[in-house]
Chain A
Amino acid sequence: MPSHAISIQNLTKDFSVGLRGLKLRAVDGLNLEVEAGQIYGLLGPNGSGKSTTIKIILGLLRPSAGHCQLFGQPCAEVAARRSLGFLPEAPYFYRDLSGRELVRFYARVCGVPRQQIRKQVDSVIELVGMSEAASRKVGTYSKGMLQRIGLAQALVHDPELVILDEPTAGVDPLGAADIADIIRELKRSGKTILLSSHLLAQMEGLCDRVAILHRGQLIREGRVDDLLTQADAQSFVVEGLDPAAQFKVERAIAEAGGELCRVEKTQRSLDALFLEAVNERAQAAAQEVSHD
Chain B
Amino acid sequence: MIDSFQRMRWIAANTFLEAVRQKFFNAVLLLSVALVVGSVFFQQFDFGSSELKFISDFGFGAVFLFGSILSIVLSTQLFFNELDNRTALTLLAKPIHKLEFLAGKFFGAYALMFCFTFSLSLVLAGLLFWRETVLMGQLAEGFDRGRLIRYGDVFVFGFIQWIKFGVIAAMTLFVGSFAQTNLFTIVVSFFGLVICQLQYIARDAYLGMAAGAGRWLVQGLSWLFPNFQLFNIGDQLVYPVEEPLALVTLGLITAYGLVYSVAFVLLAQLNFRSREL
Contact = CB atoms under 8 A, between A and B. Distances in A.
A78 B92 CA distance: 9
B90 A93 contact: yes
Interface in B87-117: 87, 89-97
Given A96-B17, A96-B21, A111-B3, A106 B94 contact: yes
Which of B86, B89, B91 is packed against the most chain A CB atoms within 10 Å?
Answer: B89
Contact of A94 (B3, B18, B93, B95): B18
A86 B88 CA distance: 12
Contact of B276 (A60, A82, A109, A153): A60
B25 to A, nearest CB: 12
B22 to A, nearest CB: 9
B90 A61 contact: no
Nearest to B81: A94
A59 B92 CA distance: 8
Contact of A97 (B7, B17, B92, B277): B17
Contacts of A105: 10, 14
B50 to A, nearest CB: 45
Nearest to A93: B87
B87 A94 contact: yes
B138 interface: no
B186 interface: no
Nearest to A90: B86
A60 B94 CA distance: 10
A108 B8 CA distance: 10
Nearest to A88: B89
Interface string B234-277: 00000000000000000000000000000000000000001011
Contacts of A260: none
B11 A109 contact: yes
Given A60-B92, A84-B93, A109-B7, A92 B276 contact: no
Interface in A74-104: 78-79, 81-82, 84, 86, 88, 91-94, 96-97
B44 interface: no
B86 A92 contact: yes
A62 interface: yes
A171 interface: no
Contact of A109 (B85, B94, B274): B94
B6 interface: yes
Interface in B1-19: 3, 6-7, 10-11, 14, 17-18
B90 A91 contact: yes
A88 B94 CA distance: 12
A109 B10 contact: yes
Contact of B94 (A61, A81, A150): A81
A219 B264 CA distance: 47
B6 A108 contact: yes
Contacts of A150: 90
A110 B94 CA distance: 6
Contacts of B7: 108-109, 111
Contacts of B17: 96-97
A81 B98 CA distance: 13
A58 interface: yes
A141 to B, nearest CB: 14
A55 B275 CA distance: 13
Contacts of A88: 86, 89-90, 93
28 contacts: A55-B89, A55-B277, A59-B92, A60-B92, A60-B276, A61-B277, A62-B274, A78-B95, A78-B97, A79-B95, A82-B95, A86-B93, A88-B86, A88-B90, A91-B86, A92-B86, A93-B87, A94-B14, A97-B14, A105-B10, A108-B6, A108-B7, A109-B7, A109-B10, A109-B11, A110-B95, A111-B6, A153-B90
Closest 5 CB pairs of A and B: A86-B93, A96-B21, A81-B95, A58-B93, A108-B10
Interface of B: 3, 6-7, 10-11, 14, 17-18, 21, 85-87, 89-97, 274, 276-277
Interface of A: 55, 58-62, 78-79, 81-82, 84, 86, 88, 91-94, 96-97, 105-106, 108-111, 150, 153, 157
